[in-house]
Amino acid sequence: MPGKDEMILILDFGSQYTQLIARRIREENIYCEIVPFNTDLISYKDRPIKGYILSGGPASVTDSDSPRLDKSFFKSDIPILGVCYGMQLMAAILGGELTKSKNREYGQSQITVNTESRLFKGVNKSSRVWMSHGDSIISFPDDFTVIGSTETVKIAAVEQKNANLYGLQFHPEVMHTAEGKKILHNFLFDICGCSGNWTTESFIKSTVADLKIRLKDKKVVLAISGGVDSTVCSLLLKEAIGENLYAIFVDNGVLRKNEFVDVEKMLSSLGLNLKAVDASQLFLDRLKGISDPEEKRKIIGRTFIDVFEDEASKIGEVEYLAQGTLYPDVIESVSFKGPSATIKSHHNVGGLKDRMKLKLVEPLRELFKDEVRQLGQKFGLEHKFVGRHPFPGPGLAVRIIGEITPARLEILREADAIYMDELHGSGQYDKIWQAFAVLLPVKSVGVMGDERTYENVVALRAVTSTDGMTADWAVIPSDVLARISNRIINSVKGVNRVTYDISSKPPATIEWE
């Protein structure tokens, strides 16, 4: 398979940065996967693994119940890079000495490195790194060489050339580590011998070929929303199976203002075999009285499947349901990726019924959002497709905190439409990864004219990001925010206060629910 004749396997010990390691590897055009630390690697014996990376993690290696690996793992000829907890685990298993620190070291530090090491080839002798660890390594086995130190950490980087073992006490994957990208590049190319041939072109070629073999002349229904994920998914499937793809766009009752009509028009321009289905009342009936965000997501997921199965029965002999599920959806939805905590159920992967009659096909589930955008550009999609902000499957249901009612939907639709209009008009939209309005479950006192009001509060959310795994709140000019706030309060009946969310991810999530 083009582009997948080499891969890096990341063993996850629960670090909040594990997904960032994967992102940095993908940026080098190398395929990688994240698996739990206790994965039975026998299942990967026929995979072209060129290197292992052991992630960081919140546990202390000195605790008796901390995540471990068998000593035999380190006897492989395949290069291994331990990061933070991964390096400490390497020390503990191979005969080093560790101690539990009284104070956790967290933040920036200055490291001095041995540039003769293959890991630090071409790296500045002194540079800024990002530390995050609670244990300290007192010693490594004698056959290891210390190749990096800070003022407070003598053993900040090590190598054992003969066994291809390397360890970093800092996180090379985060942007705060100045030379992190170069260090990872050295490990991937100079040490692991990767060639970096996993490109958008190779992904399209191999995925289309796989889909042709898997689906053959079978009919497939695709859940399509007009967003970049499902749209790119539709183009991959269309190239593989042509008219046997039936794209179904569903009005789930919690779409944005004019979304159903506008998206149907956009998708029709792609020449897809498209059917638009208004199932809004069915969704809203099932959501009535529901406030819990997880329950909302699961209800919408199950109802989606009901609608697709019903539509598929009208087509006849449909075997597959396609979805634009991405890798972050999978990572955030389930805990099988290791000790990393489940953050939320994604409607694509967390709400599917056990009794679903259709087989699932998810051509994009190995990709991050920016990789999907690159695919869209390769397919020649216009900016109105690839540049759209992400919109969750549960839609406004998870942007209305609390119960969903027609009146609350109307308020949020109008406020969100004003927000988007002003972002486009001010040139801010394309600078932002995702923006949306949220209707809060509280009311506040206000004054309009000479009268006291007690009405709803709308929160505005806007973030910058690469793939949604981490995000910073976007700095929108104050005059633009002022204009948005004034328009919403003056135009949307039932709102007397607008706030702006300045939380980053982590510790917050992008969506409020």
Q: Give catalytic residue positions.
A: 84, 171, 173
Query: If you compute the radius of gyration of the chain from its CA atoms, what whole number of angstroms results?
Result: 25
Question: Do residues 457 and 444 touch, judged by C-beta distance below 8 A?
Answer: yes
Task: Tell me the C-alpha distance between 354 and 333, whole Å.
Answer: 16
The kind and range of the H/E element at 319 are: strand 318-322
10 Å Cβ neighbour count for 393?
26
Task: Tell me the C-alpha distance between 473 and 507, whole Å.
Answer: 12
Structure tokens belonging to residue 427:
């040139």
Residue 421, classed as helix, strand or coil, is helix
Question: Do residues 498 and 460 touch, judged by C-beta distance below 8 A?
Answer: yes
Burial of 426 (0-12, 13-18, 19+ CB in 10 A): middle
Q: Residue count of the chain, please give it.
A: 513
Beta bridge partners of 275: 248
Task: Tell me the C-alpha distance between 84 and 166, whole Å.
Answer: 11
Structure tokens belonging to residue 84:
């933070």
Q: Where are the alpha helices (DSSP H) in 97-140?
A: none
| Cα distances (angstroms) measured from residue 280 to each of 41, 235, 255 | 46, 26, 9
Question: Do residues 418 and 491 touch, judged by C-beta distance below 8 A?
Answer: yes
Q: What is the DSSP letter of 143?
A: T
Of 468, 466, 486, residue with least CA distance to 478: 486
Task: Tell me the C-alpha distance between 58 and 133, whole Å.
Answer: 8
Task: Tell me the C-alpha distance between 107 and 256, whole Å.
Answer: 41
Q: What is the DSSP letter of 390?
A: P
Using alpha carbons only, what angle is made at residue 353 by residues 348 and 359, rounded to the nearest 5 degrees?
75
Question: Do residues 475 and 432 touch, judged by C-beta distance below 8 A?
Answer: no
* Cα-Cα-Cα-Cα dihedral sign, residues 51, 55, 61, 66: negative
